[in-house]
Amino acid sequence: MKYFIGNWKMFGVPRSISILNKINLFISKDRNRKKYRVIVTPPYTLLETFSKKFKNKKIFIGSQNCYQKDHYSSNTAAISPYMIKKVGAKLTLIGHSDNRAEGDTDEIIKNKVIFALKNNLKIVFCIGENKKQKKNKQTLSVLKNQLTKVLEKKFKTNNLIVAYEPIWSIGTGKIPNQDELLITTLHIKKTLKNIFGKKTPPVIYGGSVDGGNVQKFKKIKEIDGFLIGGASKDSKKFIDIIKNYYR
């Protein structure tokens, strides 16, 4: 199973559902539809509307983040995994570089993972190195630390996806070359095997993915899918990524 996950970030109003309607129509007619799963994470304001609309459709709806406590609390503007689950969402991103930059520590991220799993939400756990770390050849050690400080063997791997998103690539149009991405992906999978044993979660790639470069990523069989930013906000661009992957 391959994953095509769209992260809308701060984008979308109710009428933006037309984008997903077009993607859903494409999936329903695509002969390759059983080979992949499409997930889209709109902002919190659209979670309930979109979750209800696509409850029995070809698109799964997820959240872009969640709070580090469960159920209800007195934290203004916070949204817990429990609340996300109750509006019908199936998944949440955790550990995205945007949230790490805003102060999410490994401890905070781990608490988010624990409570998301408690509420049976699937998690896309994001990891990645910045430009300075890459330049200093720290990529592999940074990724290993991000994984081992948060993930534990007791966590359910069937509810976990790991997304490698090099921070220097997000929104820049720059992507890792094939050799270094293969090495990095294998390193992530080896680290996950050391944590979980034989049954490890899928590993997907995110960072400037588009319809033009997706076939380059396709050559790396170890990549189990993609976390897609800007291109996911446009139905044609998102559909082109799926089409070109299976071309």
Which residues carry out catalysis?
96, 165
Interatomic CA distance for residues 206 and 225, integer angstroms: 9
Q: Residue 15 carries which side chain, given as an amino acid letter?
A: R
Residue 3 phi/psi, 5° resolution? -120, 135
**Contact call for residues 79 and 44 (beta carbons, < 8 A):** yes
Token match 């469960």: residue? 70
Instruction: Name 7's bridge partners.
Output: 41
| Cα three-residue angle 18-19-25, rounded to 5 degrees | 85
Interatomic CA distance for residues 207 and 216, integer angstroms: 13
Tell the burial category of 177 from Cβ atoms under 10 Å away from its Cβ (0-12, 13-18, 19+).
Answer: exposed
**Contact call for residues 113 and 142 (beta carbons, < 8 A):** no
